[in-house]
Structure 1
Amino acid sequence: MAPAAAWRALLALRHGLGGMLPVLEQVRQAVGDIFQITLPGFSPVFVAHPDAMRQVLVDERDDYRWRPEGDPVARLLRRGLLVTDGEEHACLRAVMEPSSRRSHFAPRCASLWRTCDRILDMWQPGRTYDMLVEMRKLALLLFEEVYFSHDLLPELDALWKPMLKALDYIGPGLWVLWGGRRNPPKAVRVLDAHLHGLIRQRRADPNPPDDLLTHLVQGLADDGLVRDQMLTMLIAGHDTSTALLAWTLYLLGKDPVWMERAQAEVRDVLGSELPTPENVGRLAVLDQVVKETLRLYPPIHVGNRFTARDVTLAGYRIPAGSRVMVSYYLVQRHPVYWDAPTGFRPERWRSDFRPAPFTYLPFGGGPRNCIGGPFAQLEARLALARILQRVDLSLERAQVQPHMGATLEPRPGVFLRVEKISVEKMGVEKRA
C-alpha cells in the first residue's frame, strides 16, 4: 500500500477501526480490489473482487481457517460455531441447522408482533428515541423468544450493560496492533450465568419446547459447549438484526418518499391483518427497502479468515498465517457492479433484478454463510411491518456514520421522533 494511504489508515485508527471504511474505499479505488494494509502488528489482505471472494468462500475454502486464535472473538465465544473449523464445525452445525430452517422457525414467528408491541407500547408520542437502542431491545427479546422460548424482558436491564461490554470487547479496535491477549470483561459472567440457568432449566424439563436450546442440550452433553453456541447465536443473532433494523429506519427517515411508500404499502396490503410470516411476503416495497439497506450497510461487513497454508489468491502469493478480510461492504458498493453504488435506490430491486454472483453477500457466502441469516431476514420484515403499522416516525438527526463494531452500526445513533397512529387511521385492532 502507498505510504500516504498507510498514514491515513494509521490516523483513522485513533478512533479504533470505526474510521477505516472511508480509507478502505480510497485504497480500493487507488490500487485495486485486492490490497494489503501494512501497519505495525497488523497487515491484513483485503478482498473486494467477486472472483476472489468465490475462491476464499467456496472454491478453495479449505485453505482458510475461521478460528482467530488469540483474537477477542475466540476468547469470548470459545468453541462457538463461528470460530471453529473442520469436523468440529461440521458437527456443531449439524446440531444447530434444523432449528435454523425457515420451516422450523417460521411457525414460531407467527405472533412476534406481540413482542414488538411490548416495545412500541413504551414509546410516548412526541418523544425522540434512539432506534439503535430500541431495536437492540427488540432484537434481544425476539431472539430469545424464538430460539430459547424465553421471555427476556424481566432480565433485560440486568443483561444490558454486560451485553454491550461483550460487544465492545469483540469489536475491532486498537488491540489488532498489539494482539488480542486481553481476557473477556468480568461482566460476561452475568451473561454466562443467564445462559447456564437456561441450560439447567431445559435439561430438567420433561417436555421441552422444540427450539434451538432443546436441540443443543439434546445434541451436546457438555454444558460449556452448549453455552458457547448459545452465546455465539445470541450475540451474532441479535446484533445483526439490531444493525439491520436501525439502518433501515434511518434510511427511511432520511428519505420521506420511501418512508411514505413503505408505510402506505403496509397499511394498504395488510389492512387489519397482523404481520405474519405469510403475509409479509406480499410487501414488495418493504422487501426492496430491506434488500437495499443490506447492500449499503451489511451487518456482517467483513469476513475474517487466516490462510492455513501458502495460497495464491487472484494471482497474488499470500503466505500461511496471513489475515485475509473479505469485504462485503466494499464489493456491495463497487461501481463496476452497481449503478449509483452509494445511493439509496430500493427501486433497483425490481422482481427481475439479479446481482452478479458474489457481489451481494450481506450474510456471507458459501457453505459457511450465516446460519441465522434466514431468520434475520424474516424477523426484520415482521418487525418493520409492525412498526410502520403502528407509528409515524421522523428523523431528528441526519448525520450518521457507519461504525465498524461487532457489526456495522449507525453512530452516534438513529434518533427518530415518534407519533402514535390512532386505531382509526391505522385500520388495525390490537388483538389479544
Structure 2
Amino acid sequence: MYSTGHHFEPPAPPLAPDRVTGLGVLMRLRRNAFSAFPARCFSAPAIKYRLGITDLILANTPDAMRHVLADHPDRFRRVRATGRVLGPLLGRGLAAAEGEAWRRQRRTLAPAFTPRTLPVLSQHIAACAEATCARIEASSDGSIDLLSAMQDLSLDIAARSMFSLETARFGPELRRLLVFYSATIGRPRASDFLLPSKLLTPTDVRRALFRRRWSRIISSVIAERRTTASPDTPRDMFDMLVDAYKDQDEGLLADEVSTMLFAGHETTGLTLFWACFLLANAPEWQDAVREEARACDVSPSTAGEALARLPLTRAVVEETLRLYPPAYMSARAVMDPHDLCGLPVRSGSLVLLPFCMLHRNPAFWASPSRFDPSRFLDAARPDRFTFLPFGAGPRVCIGAQLAIAESMLVLARLLRGNAIAMEHADPVQPIGSFSTRPSPVPVFKLRRGMPRAPVKSRRARSMTELGATAKGRSRSDGNADV
C-alpha cells in the first residue's frame, strides 16, 4: 500500500546491477531506462564501457552534464539513434535538426516562445482546461483515465494555441498513432546506437512505413488549417512558419508542425498525469494545491496573471519533472578526443546523460525518492545542473516555460473544485522507453464539490507548514539539502 500525505515515496523499478556491461545498458534502455543504469552513477562523475570499436560513456554529475550540454556543445553531435527513433515523427523539425539548419529553425521559432507571448497562450490553455475539466466532471460515476484525458487536453492546447485548430477530426487518429509508436517501434534499440544509419533493420523498415502514415495525417492537418483560416483570424505560429519557410519545401513545414503537436501531446500530457498520480497519493499536498488554486482566478481572462500566484502548484510541477522527466535521458557522440571530468574520451564515443539518475542522486537531493515539492518553494533552489528536465545549453527545450505554465493552469483548474484519488493500490512504476510512461495505467476517481472548510479545521497545512516540516525532516536525514 502507498503511504499518505507528504511522506509519499512512489515506487520505482530496481537499478541495473553494477556488473552491467555497456551493451547491457543499451539493451535495457528498450525495456526501461529507469532500470538501465547502475547505482555507480550516483558516485562516479563518468563511467566508461568498452563497446566494440568504440566506448560508451555515462556522464552522471552536474559538472559532467554541464561539460557536454553547455560548456563544450561544439565537441559533441546528436547520435544516429536520435534520427532513427524520432525521425519518423519529427523528420527535420527543430528537435532533430543539426548545425546551421538547427540555428535557422531555432531563430524562426524563438519569437513564439518569448515571455511576452505567455499571457496570450495562457488564455488558450485556460479555455481548453475549462472545457476538458467540465467534461470530466460530467462523468457519470467519476471514474476516469487521467492519462488519456491529460494527453487529449495537451494535444488540444497545442493545436488551438499554436495553429488555431480544433482536434475533433484529426485528434483521435493522431493520438492512436502516437500511442502505437511509443509502445512499439519507438522504443530505442541497441542497434539504433550501434549500427550505421545506412544499415537498415526490420524495425527501421517498420518505422519508414509508419512515417508514411504519420506524414499523411500531418498533411491533412495543414490542409485543414489552410482551408479554415479566415482573414480575421489572428496570426499564429502556423502563419509565422509559412512566412519563414515559404522558400523551403513543404516537408519542412510539416515537420515543424509535427514537432509542436508531438511535444504538446507527449511531454506535457505525461507531466500532468504524473502530477495527478503524486497528488492522489499525497492528500496533504493535494489539499494545499487546492487551497492555493481557490485563492486566485484561473479563468481565460486572468490566467496569465494567475501564474505568479501559484508558487506551490509550480513547485509540484517541478517536483513531478524531477521524479518523472518525460525526456529521461539525452545522448551525444564525441567529435574530438578530450577529457570529460578527468576521463579521456575518444572521438566517436557514445555519451549518455541519464537525467533520471541525476534527479534521484542522494549526493544532490535530500531523500531523493520522496515526493517533496518544498524543494522548489524557497530561495534555495536546486543548482541549475542538478535539475535538467528540459536539458540545458544551446539546445535547451524552447517550450520549457510554456510547458510549466500549461501544467500549472490545468492542475489549478482541475483541483480547485475536485479531489482525485486512485481506485486501486497496484504499484505504478515509471517505464522509460520512448518517454516516461506508467505501468500499469491506473484509473482515478474524481470527487466533486469539495467544500471550503474553515482554515483551522482543514486537513491540509499551509505551504509554509508543509515546507518547514519537509525541510526539518531533510536535515534530520543527514543529506545535503539543495
Partner of 1:119: 132
Partner of 2:166: 151
Partner of 2:67: 55
Match of 1:46 among 46, 50, 58: 58
Using the TM superposition, give the Cα deviation of residue 27 of structure 1 relative to its aligned residue in structure 2, in angstroms: 3.3
The answer to whether the Cα contact below 8 Å between 2:419 and 2:447 also exists between their aligned partners in 1 is yes
Q: CA RMSD in A?
A: 3.0
Using the TM superposition, give the Cα deviation of residue 120 of structure 1 relative to its aligned residue in structure 2, in angstroms: 2.7
The answer to whether the Cα contact below 8 Å between 1:397 and 1:415 also exists between their aligned partners in 2 is yes
Partner of 2:186: 170
TM alignment of 1:173-322, pairs within 5 A: 173=189, 175-176=191-192, 179=195, 181=201, 182-183=204-205, 184=207, 186-200=209-223, 207=231, 209-221=234-246, 222-270=249-297, 276-322=303-349
Partner of 1:416: 444
Partner of 2:471: none
Deviations 1:354-411 (A, max 9, x none): 2123111111111210011111011101111111124221122441111113322222
Structure 2: unaligned runs, 5 residues or longer: 1-15, 454-482
Deviations 1:194-235 (A, max 9, x none): 322343455675736422211111101321011111212222
The answer to whether the Cα contact below 8 Å between 1:299 and 1:408 also exists between their aligned partners in 2 is yes
Matched to 2:75, the amino acid is: D
Q: Distance in 2 between matches of 1:310 and 1:85?
A: 21
Q: Distance in 2 between matches of 1:39 and 1:235?
A: 33
Find the residue that maps to 2:362 and give its secondary structure.
coil
Percent of pairs with identical residues: 27
1:42/1:277 Cα in 2 relative to 1: closer, same or farther (>3 Å)?
A: farther
Deviations 1:340-366 (A, max 9, x none): 111111122233122123111111111
1:327/1:360 Cα in 2 relative to 1: closer, same or farther (>3 Å)?
A: same
Q: Distance in 1 between matches of 2:52 and 2:133?
A: 47
The answer to whether the Cα contact below 8 Å between 2:297 and 2:303 also exists between their aligned partners in 1 is no
Find the residue that maps to 2:336 and give its secondary structure.
coil
Using the TM superposition, give the Cα deviation of residue 37 of structure 1 relative to its aligned residue in structure 2, in angstroms: 5.0
Deviations 1:123-154 (A, max 9, x none): 31534323222111111111111111111133
Q: Distance in 2 between matches of 1:74 and 1:36?
A: 28
TM alignment of 1:326-341, pairs within 5 A: 326-341=353-368
Partner of 1:389: 416
**Further displaced range: 367-376 or 34-43:** 34-43
**Following superposition, which runs of at least 4 residues in structure 1 exceed 6 angstroms of deviation?**
39-42, 271-275
1:397/1:322 Cα in 2 relative to 1: closer, same or farther (>3 Å)?
A: farther
**Further displaced range: 38-47 or 69-78:** 38-47
Partner of 2:479: none
Q: Distance in 1 between matches of 2:278 and 2:256?
A: 33
The answer to whether the Cα contact below 8 Å between 1:66 and 1:82 also exists between their aligned partners in 2 is no
Matched to 1:132, the amino acid is: L
TM-score, length basis structure 1 = 0.87
Deviations 1:324-344 (A, max 9, x none): 111222222221111111111
The answer to whether the Cα contact below 8 Å between 1:266 and 1:283 also exists between their aligned partners in 2 is yes
Partner of 1:107: 120
Find the residue that maps to 2:304 and give its secondary structure.
coil
Matched, 1:401 2:429: yes
Q: Distance in 1 between matches of 2:368 and 2:394?
A: 27
Using the TM superposition, give the Cα deviation of residue 189 of structure 1 relative to its aligned residue in structure 2, in angstroms: 3.6
The answer to whether the Cα contact below 8 Å between 1:34 and 1:48 also exists between their aligned partners in 2 is yes
Using the TM superposition, give the Cα deviation of residue 272 of structure 1 relative to its aligned residue in structure 2, in angstroms: 8.5
Q: Distance in 2 between matches of 1:330 and 1:403?
A: 14
Find the residue that maps to 1:393 and give its secondary structure.
strand
1:290/1:72 Cα in 2 relative to 1: closer, same or farther (>3 Å)?
A: closer
Q: Distance in 2 between matches of 1:33 and 1:100?
A: 34
Using the TM superposition, give the Cα deviation of residue 75 of structure 1 relative to its aligned residue in structure 2, in angstroms: 4.5
Using the TM superposition, give the Cα deviation of residue 101 of structure 1 relative to its aligned residue in structure 2, in angstroms: 1.6
Q: Distance in 1 between matches of 2:374 and 2:187?
A: 33
Partner of 1:33: 45
Partner of 1:5: 19
Q: Distance in 1 between matches of 2:334 and 2:213?
A: 35
**Further displaced range: 320-329 or 262-271:** 262-271
Matched, 1:72 2:95: no
Using the TM superposition, give the Cα deviation of residue 412 of structure 1 relative to its aligned residue in structure 2, in angstroms: 1.7
